[in-house]
Amino acid sequence: MTDALRVVDVAEEHLDAAWQVRLRSFGPGGDRDEWRKTALEFAQDGRCLGVVDGDELVAAARLWPFEQWWGGRRVPMAGIASVIVSPEYRGRGVGSLLMRAVLERSVEKGLALSALYPATTVLYRHLGYEFAGERYQFTFSAADLRMLGGKGVPVRKAGKADAQLFLELASKMHATQRSSGPLIWPLKQIESWLGDEDNFAYVAEDGFVVYNWSDGNLCVDELVAGSEATARALWATVGSGASIAKTVLAYVGPTDPIHLLTEHEAEAQTQVQRWMLRLTDAPAAIAARGFATGAVLDVALHLDDADLPANAGDWRLSVADGTGSLVAAEPADDAVRLGARGLAALYAGTPTAALRGAGLLTGGSAAVDSALDAAFGGSAAYMIDSF
């Protein structure tokens, strides 16, 4: 690396160069003007960072201001997207330099977690990210869905004006199901999807569905249902397309009730994309997460975190009544020892036995492992969206 390389906030004057790096990184595609408009919005809100060599932009990355459900509570999360380094600068630490700045910016923005879909895991693992969950696309028979019934449930067409209602219905369901993983998008983004005539949205009293056409199939982007009757009605609404679409692709969690309602499932066509997580502000991330009700934990924790040193050191991790805290403490000989990767995986519910097996958790005791598993465990973390 040359001394001329430095991290900057991407500004309007960098956008032409950023487009060129993007073309070289992801190939052609996308509307340049649309891309520019969105890039500018990220830049103007301090959520687009770059690396310049002298005056020339050679790398960039964006931060989405999401919240993410963890144990049925909302945790502010930076969704990292469009990480790009110009080909002639790759393999020289530019991506790492950029991502370290991205982690710091996440903390500054009050985003206690950071998540991403990795195109390569090496870069991100070096920086403390670890696999945390999956995004599934299941394949159902449209004819199966059509037969689910729910005819007595009133369902109406929905649009842009229903964005806030959709957020509230989804929130109610994820809080009740104590979900881990699903994203909460900025309201403006939800309005834009609902305003798109290619998306078909329907709402019932305690649920909604958004779906569209995808290569001759129907594809459910999101379906929220607060009751069995509503689930049947909304899935059957999509399945009513069975005369044209034989297959319905659906982004849903692996334990969604639909798996228990349909007769058949084309498991062989299930697609899985894995995503990674990192805690950027460990005390804030622990304080915001929901934990298993009934779990009680009070353990000494030693964290190593060279990239975000505010997380490093000795802590007391406590959980009671479904909430947790991480408070600075004196060093303890029997402390559980974790690095950033181990902490991220534990947070996402990875069993301590797996963490020990991979060398990501040491110290502590068998009794502490059981208590950690009980507190952080629950249903597997999943997302329905990529970003």
Contact flag: residue 383 with ligand COA (CB under 6 A):
no
Binding mask 86-115 for ligand COA (x = CB under 6 A): ----xxxxxxx-------------------
User: Total residues contacting ligand COA (rule CB under 6 A)?
Assistant: 17
Are the beta carbons of 105 and 7 closer than 8 angstroms?
Answer: no
Is residue 123 involved in binding ligand COA (CB under 6 A)?
Answer: yes
Q: Does 360 bind ligand COA (CB under 6 A)?
A: no
Tokens at 295, concatenated: 């779990």
**Cα separation of 282 and 347, whole Å?**
10
Task: List for the chain the helix, strand, coil content (%; round to 5).
Answer: 35, 35, 30
To ligand COA, the closest distance from the beta carbon of 102 in angstroms equals: 11
Give min distance, CB of 274 to ligand COA, in A. 12
Distance separating alpha carbons of residues 139 and 238, to the nearest angstrom = 13
User: In sequence order, what DSSP letters do the residues of 219-257 get, joined into one string?
Assistant: EEEEEEESSHHHHHHHHHHHHGGGGT-SEEEEE--TT-T
Q: Is 274 in the site for ligand COA (CB under 6 A)?
A: no
Cα gap 155→137, rounded to integer Å: 25
Phi, psi of 298, rounded to the nearest 5 degrees: -155, 95
128 binds ligand COA (CB under 6 A): no
State yes or no: residue 126 binds ligand COA (CB under 6 A): yes
Question: Which CB sits closer to ligand COA, 22 or 289?
Answer: 22
- The answer to whether residue 84 forms part of the interface with ligand COA (CB under 6 A) is yes
Pick from 1, 4, 11, 119: which binds ligand COA (CB under 6 A)? 119
CA distances from 231 to 74, 109, 156, 211, 262 (A): 24, 37, 14, 14, 11
Residue 58 or 299 having the CB closest to ligand COA: 58
Does position 212 interact with ligand COA (CB under 6 A)? The reply is no
Applying CB under 6 A, among 43, 78, 83, 229 the residue interacting with ligand COA is 83
The closest residue (CB) to ligand COA is 95
The residues of the shown chain that bind ligand COA, judged by CB under 6 A, are 25, 83-85, 90-96, 118-120, 122-123, 126
